[in-house]
Amino acid sequence: MPLTTVINESFDRSFTLYRDLIESIEESTLSSKLARLPSNTLGLQLWCVIGARESFSKAIKANQWSGFSCSLENTDNKVSVAEALHRSESAVSEALETISEFSDVQNRLVIDLLEHEAAHHGQLIRYLYGLKLTIPASWKSKYAL
């Protein structure tokens, strides 16, 4: 199987996890923090995921990092977060599809984005446990939770 196929499948699996997560939580959960621990809100965790996807997509297309930005303004609104997750999925997919041969810089950016996605999976698992939320089946299966 070509590496590009593996990478695309890895992103698709990650996108599915985030879609399942946002579908499974109540809107009020987006403003929740972990008790007695330094943490931001669950919505801000997703803001970072969305911003990374948007920023890395631009960087992959440009073949260079051009800074972090995020289009999501309201991290407490479930519809807004879900729509931004979807848009950012599309941005990543489009960036990957538009390049026929990746440069070393683009390879690094793609791997860095996959690592970022996975790092947030780990952080969000802590939120799921810490906030006593229902863990989506896809997360249970992927991470043997």
| CATH code, 125 | 1.20.120.450
Are residues 42 and 30 in contact, defined by beta-carbon separation less than 8 angstroms? yes
pLDDT class for 93, splitting at 50, 70, 90?
very high
Q: What angle do CA 35, 37, 39 make, to 5 degrees?
A: 95
**43-70 mean pLDDT:** 97
Which domain range does residue 68 map to?
3-143
- Domain count for the chain: 1
CA within 13 Å, CB half, 100: 0
Q: What is the mean pLDDT of residues 4-21?
A: 95
- Alpha carbon distances (Å) from 132 to 18, 82, 103: 18, 21, 43
Say if CB 22 and CB 78 are below 8 A apart.
yes
For 29-71, give the secondary structure using H, E and C. HHHCCCCCCCCCCHHHHHHHHHHHHHHHHHHHHHCCCCCCCCC
pLDDT, position 98: 87
Q: Is the pLDDT at 2 greater than 90, yes or no?
A: no
The alpha carbon of residue 81 and the mean position of all alpha carbons in its chain are separated, in whole angstroms, by: 11
3-state secondary structure of 47: helix
What pLDDT score was predicted for residue 142? 96
For the whole model, what pTM was predicted? 0.96
